[in-house]
Structure 1
Amino acid sequence: MKKLVLATVIASLMSGSAMAATVGVSMAAFDDNFLTVLRNGMQDYSKTLDGVELQVEDAQGDVSKQMSQIQNFIASGVDAIIVNAVDTDATAAMSTLASDAGIPLVYVNRQPVNLDTLPAKQAFVASNEVDSGTLETKEVCRLLTEAGKKEANIVVMMGELSNQAARQRTQDVHDVIATPECSFMKIAEEQTANWSRQQGADLMTNWMSAGLKFDAVIANNDEMAIGAIQALKAGGVDMKDVIVAGVDATQDALAALQAGDLDATVFQNAAGQGKGALDAALALAKGETVETKVYVPFELVTSANVADYAAKN
C-alpha cells in the first residue's frame, strides 16, 4: 500500500511539472502574411505542449479593440498574455493593465515603447530591428557598387509609422548611407505604404507617374517591396535595371527572389519569435526569471542562399 501511495504521489508531481496554462494572445492583424506565420508557429508549438491552451484574438488593426481583448483576458483569468501590438505607443497602458492584475505579459515582434521600463513579469521577444534595415541597405549598397554606380538615387517605402520597426528600419537606411562607403546613395523619396502590398504598388505608381528617377527601392517589409515590383513591371520597367529589397523573407518574397525580381530580403524568424514568446510567457507564469529582451537573429537572404530559406517559413 505504501508503495502504491508513493507511486501515486510521484505521478502527481510529474504531471504537475508540465504546467497546465491558458495564454491569451492578441495579434495586431490576421491578414498580414508575416504575422500569420508568427501566429501559426505559436499555435503549432502550443499543440506540442501538454495542458497549454491559446486564446488567439484578431485586433484588426484597432488599438481600442486590442485593449478590450487584453481586459477580457484579464477578466477571464488567463495565466499569461502575449501581445503583438497594433500601435507600439499604446503599450505602456497595456503593461499597466497586466501588471496591476498580476498577469505576466510578453510582447512579440513589435517593440513596446516602454521597453526599458517594463514592469516585473514582462518581456519582449523579437529580432533586433537595428540589424534588419542595416543588412538590407548594406546589400543594396553592395549591389549598386558592384554595378559601378558612383551616384545612386533610392526610394524608401516605410511601414506604419506607429510601429517601432518601421521607424527603426528607416533609421537604419539613413545610418548606412551616412557611412563613407555608401554615401553615394541619396534618398529621392521616402513615404509610408503601411506594410501593404497594394499601397506599395500605388505609391510606386505615383512615383513613376511623377517621373521620379531612382536606382533602388528599399522597403521596410516584403509586402511593400512586392507591391513596388508589381507596379514597376506593369509600367514596363526591366527588373534588371532597378534593385529592390525588403525584409521578412516571406514565401512570396523568396519566390520573387528566385524569379530575379527581388534582389534581397532579410529573414526574420516569425515562427521562432512565436515559439520564443510562448516559452517566455509560460516561464513567467511559473514564476521563473526571463530576460527582458529576447532576440532571434536576422539573416540576409540573396540569390546565393535563397534555396536554404525556402523551407524555413
Structure 2
Amino acid sequence: MKTFLITTAIASALAVSASAENIGVSMSRFDDNWLTVLRNAISARADASDDISVQIEDARDDVARQLDQVKNFIATGVDAIVVNAVDTSATQALTDEAEAAGIPLVFVNRMPVNLDSLPDSQAFVGSDERDSGTLETIAVCDQLAAAGKTEADIYIMMGMLSNQAAVQRTQDIHDVVEAGKCAVTLNVIDKQTAEWQRDLAQDLMTNWLSSGTPFDAVISNNDEMAIGAIQAIKAAGISMEDVVIGGVDATQDALLAMAAGELDVTVFQNAAGQGEGALDAALALARGEEVDRTVWVPFELVTPANMRDYVAAN
C-alpha cells in the first residue's frame, strides 16, 4: 500500500509538472519603478497558480540582448513569450522569430510598430497612448486657466525617442492645442528627452533653469521625469505654487509628490492590469484560444481631488 501511494504521488507530481505552462518574459529594463510593478504582477499571477511558471529576463535597454532572450526562450521550448519592447520600432524581428517557431507572443505596455500586421498567434496588451498625453495636457491647461492664465510658456520632457509611448504622448500635447482643447495658449520654450529617468530630468531642468527664462508649466511624458523636474525647481528656490507640473503613470512616488502639493496632474496607467492581462493573453494563445489583437487597459486622470483612490494602485 505504501509503495502504491508513493508511486501515485510521484506520478501525480510528474503529471502536474508536465502540464505546467512555461512563459518566457523579456522586460526592457528592471530598473524602472513602473515596470517593476508590471513585472511583479506577472510573477504574482503565476505564483498564484500551480500550473504556470514564468522566466523573466532583463534586456537592459539593449535591442540585441532582447532578441537573444526571445531566441533562448524559443530554444528552451516555452509555451508562450511576453515582451516589453526595448525599441518599439524593432519589434518585427521578435515577431518573425516567434512566428517561425510557432510560439505565441504577446507585447505588453509598449506598442509594437508592426501592430497592424501581427499574426493570429500574437497580440498587444497595453493602454492607448492617445489618451494619456491628452488627459494630462487638458488637465494642465485647465489648471493654468484656473490660475488666471490666458497664455503659458511650457517645457516638455520626453521619454526615450525610440519608444512609441514617448512619441505619442508628446504628439498628444500638440494635438490638444491644434484641436482647440486647451483653455490657454501654450508656447513651447523647449522640449528634450530625459529618457524616462528622474536623475536625467533633474539635470535637464537644471539646465533650463540656468537660462533664467520664465515658465509656467512642465509637461512630462512620465512621473519619474516630472519628479526630477520638481527636484530641480525646488533646489532653485522656485515655489511649486507658481508652476504646474504634469506626469503620467500615477506611481506611488508621484502620489506622494501630489500630496505634498508639488505634482499637479498625473494619469493612472494600470501596471498590474497590463501585466496580468499580458500573461492571461499569452496563456490563452498557448491553449489555442482566440485573443483580440489589441487589448486595451484604460488610462485614468488623477488630480489632488481623486488621488486617494489610487494609493497603492501602482
TM over 0.5: yes
AA aligned to 1:102 is G
SS in 2 for 1:22: strand
Q: Distance in 2 between matches of 1:30 and 1:171?
A: 27
Post-superposition offset of 1:212: 2.3
Paired residues of 2:30 and 2:36 also in contact (CA < 8 A): yes
Q: Distance in 2 between matches of 1:263 and 1:295?
A: 26
Match of 1:161 in 2: 161
Instruction: Report 1:170-185 matches (<5 A).
Output: 170-182=170-182, 184-185=185-186
Deviations 1:245-303 (A, max 9, x none): 10000110010001100001000000110000000000000000000000000000100
Q: 72-81 vs 43-52, which deviates more?
A: 43-52
Match of 1:143 in 2: 143
- Normalization by structure 1: what TM-score? 0.93
Match of 1:287 in 2: 288
Match of 2:222 in 1: 221
Match of 1:302 in 2: 303
AA aligned to 2:226 is A
Post-superposition offset of 1:181: 4.5
SS in 2 for 1:180: coil
Give structure 2 stretches of 5+ with no counterpart: 1-7
Q: Distance in 1 between matches of 2:120 and 2:100?
A: 11
AA aligned to 1:278 is L
AA aligned to 2:154 is I
Deviations 1:148-180 (A, max 9, x none): 101101110000000000000000011112233
Post-superposition offset of 1:33: 0.5
Paired residues of 1:156 and 1:218 also in contact (CA < 8 A): yes
Deviations 1:202-248 (A, max 9, x none): 11000000122210000000000000000000000100000001000
State, as a whole percentage, how many aligned pairs show the same letter.
Answer: 63
Instruction: Report 1:1-313 matches (<5 A).
Output: 20-182=20-182, 184-313=185-314
Q: RMSD between aligned alpha carbons?
A: 1.5
Paired residues of 1:59 and 1:66 also in contact (CA < 8 A): yes
Post-superposition offset of 1:89: 1.0
SS in 1 for 2:190: strand
Post-superposition offset of 1:194: 0.4
AA aligned to 1:243 is V
SS in 2 for 1:55: strand
Paired residues of 2:138 and 2:181 also in contact (CA < 8 A): no
- Normalization by structure 2: what TM-score? 0.93
AA aligned to 1:309 is Y
Paired residues of 2:120 and 2:293 also in contact (CA < 8 A): no
Paired residues of 1:177 and 1:186 also in contact (CA < 8 A): no
Post-superposition offset of 1:192: 0.5
Give structure 1 stretches of 5+ with no counterpart: 1-7
Q: Distance in 1 between matches of 2:67 and 2:250?
A: 30
Runs of 4+ in structure 1 deviating by more than 3 angstroms, as ranges, are none
Q: Distance in 2 between matches of 1:174 and 1:47?
A: 43
Change (3 A) 1:296 1:29: same
Q: Distance in 2 between matches of 1:91 and 1:119?
A: 13
Paired residues of 2:219 and 2:246 also in contact (CA < 8 A): yes
Q: Distance in 1 between matches of 2:33 and 2:180?
A: 36
